[in-house]
Amino acid sequence: MAAAELLKFENVVAGYGKETILHGLSFAVPRGAMTTVIGPNGAGKSTAFKAAFGMLAVRSGRILFEDREITNRAPRELIGEGICYVPQGRNIFPELSVLHNLEFGGVAAPKGTDLKARIEAVMDRFAVLRRKARHQASTLSGGEQKILEIARGLLLQPRLMLIDEPSIGLSPLLVEELFALLRELRKGGITLLMIEQNAKRALENSDYGVVLELGRMRLQDSARAILSDPRIGQLFLGGGLSA
């Protein structure tokens, strides 16, 4: 039987140059659920994602995916394992067409993958991408660009999606739509691990929460429990929650 945890950090130490950001980070990501990582600036949230996706060297500790060690493996191999990473900010190629951007999602596809069919399927799902397939990607609105990024990630049918601050720069209405989309992906069987500044709203949409501080895991619980924890309210979520 498959383990209940899809992804696991075990005492991970990592950082940039001489600076250490993650000081022995350990936590586990439950399979088939949506987990939100919260924590103040500099807690190491994005760093943890980069370390998991092979874009930052792990100095010690281990990262496990499906109980197999994936520490320091190349992004290309991790994509092959079924991990997809949607970094913070705008990650489209603005000068190129929407279709060209989608095709990039298949760059690491294994031989024999019918990319055309998959791109068609993704465009069936997101009508806006089909309508604007030939447009330059920079002409899409902020929300559409994020959809394009997620659609691009879905092309390889991942089992785990790491998504870093997807709501940044989006209007509240679009944020709602985005979270609805993420919930839908989870229903489709994709495990989601998300970083969000908008912690309250993200936790309301998630099953679990993980709290990081200074490169360590401080708390891991159901999203509801974290939302109602007064300490967390004061620490990270601003006033209002604990009242």
Partner 1 sequence: MGIGILALAGAFLLVAPLGLKPYGIFILSMWAVMTIAAIGLNLTLGYAGQISLAQAAFVGIGAYVTAWLTTKGAWPFWPTYALGFASCFAVGWILGYPALRVQHHYLAFVTLAFNTLVYLVFRNEEWLTNGIYGISNVPRPSLFGFSLKGGREFYYFCLANLVFVSLAAWWLIRSPWGRAFVAVRENPIRALSLGVDTRRYTLMAFAIGAGLGGISGALYAPLTQFVDPTPFALGLSLNLLLMVVLGGSGYFFGPFLGAIVAVLLPEWLRFAQGYYLMGYAVLVMVMMAFWPTGLLGLADRLLKK
| Burial class of 124 by CB neighbour count within 10 A (0 to 12, 13 to 18, 19+) | exposed
Q: Judged by CB under 8 A, which of 15, 30, 44, 105 binds partner 1?
A: 105
Cα dihedral 97, 100, 104, 107, rounded to 10, equals -160
Spatial neighbors of 216 by CB under 8 A, at least 6 apart, are 23, 24, 25
- The residue range among 6-14, 60-68, 70-78, 139-147 that interacts with partner 1, by the rule CB under 8 A, is 70-78
Establish if 96 lies at the interface with partner 1 (CB under 8 A): yes
φ, ψ for residue 169 (rounded to 5)?
A: 75, 10
Q: Which of residues 36-55 bind partner 1 (CB under 8 A)?
A: 53, 55
> Shortest Cβ distance from residue 188 to partner 1 (Å)?
21
**162 DSSP β-pair partners:** 85, 193
Give the C-alpha separation, 51 to 28, whole Å: 14
Give the C-alpha separation, 219 to 198, whole Å: 18
> Shortest Cβ distance from residue 3 to partner 1 (Å)?
25
Establish if 75 lies at the interface with partner 1 (CB under 8 A): yes
> Shortest Cβ distance from residue 104 to partner 1 (Å)?
5
> Which CB sits closer to partner 1, 57 or 107?
107
Establish if 106 lies at the interface with partner 1 (CB under 8 A): yes
Establish if 73 lies at the interface with partner 1 (CB under 8 A): no
Which residues contact partner 1 by CB under 8 A? 53, 55, 74-76, 78-80, 85, 87, 91, 93, 95-96, 100, 103-109, 152
